[in-house]
C-alpha cells in the first residue's frame, strides 16, 4: 500500500488510543459518570489503538 496512507493510518490509530485513554481515565476518576460497558470499551480502544498505531509506525520505519 501507499506509504503516506500507512503513516496517516498509524497516526489516526494513536490519536484514537489517546482519546480512548482520556475516556478510560475519566471513567475511573468519576465512577458514576459512565457505565461499566463504556469503561471496558474505552480500555480496549485505548490498548488496541495505541498498540496498532505504534506497531504500524514501527513497521514503516523498519522497511
How large is the average pLDDT for residues 4-12? 89
| pLDDT confidence of residue 18 | 92
How large is the average pLDDT for residues 11-22? 91
15, pLDDT greater than 80: yes
Pick from 42, 48, 45, 49: nearest CA to 24: 42
Boundaries of domain holding 15: 3-62
| pLDDT confidence of residue 1 | 60
| pLDDT confidence of residue 54 | 92
What global pTM score does this model have? 0.80
Tally the domains of the chain.
1
Residue 5: partners with Cβ closer than 8 Å, 6 or more residues away: none
Q: What is the pLDDT of residues 31-56, one digit of tens each?
A: 877 788 888 888 999 999 999 999 98
Amino acid at each position: 500500500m501507499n506509504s503516506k496512507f500507512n503513516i496517516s493510518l498509524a497516526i489516526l490509530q494513536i490519536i484514537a488510543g489517546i482519546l480512548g485513554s482520556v475516556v478510560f481515565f475519566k471513567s475511573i476518576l468519576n465512577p458514576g459518570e459512565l457505565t461499566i460497558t463504556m469503561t471496558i470499551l474505552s480500555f480496549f480502544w485505548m490498548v488496541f489503538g495505541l498498540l496498532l498505531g505504534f506497531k504500524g509506525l514501527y513497521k514503516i520505519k523498519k522497511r
